Amino acid sequence: MSLQVVPRDNESAISTSKTKQGTQADSFERLIIWHRKKEKKKKDKNKKQK
């Protein structure tokens, strides 16, 4: 039993560090996507004006 507990703790520690890095990457990607959408809206507005 005690042998099984150790790897589980290890996995959870690894997964938490991964999620911390993952959330940073996700928020960065979301920022890029949001920026692209904003740029696209600007282009769409320009198309409508022409």
Render pLDDT for 6-40 as a digit per residue (tens, 0 to 9).
555 666 665 666 666 667 777 888 888 888 998 88
Token code pair at residue 48? 């409508």
3-state secondary structure of 1: coil
Q: Which pLDDT belongs to residue 48?
A: 77
d(CA 37, CA 50): 20
pTM over 0.85: no
The three-class DSSP label of residue 50 is coil
Confidence of residue 45 (pLDDT cuts 50, 70, 90): confident
Buried/exposed 14-46: b ≥16 CB within 10 Å, e otherwise: eeeeeeeeeeeeeeeeeeeeeeeeeeeeeeeee
Task: Map out the domains of the chain as residue ranges.
Answer: 9-50
Residue 1 has pLDDT above 50, yes or no: no
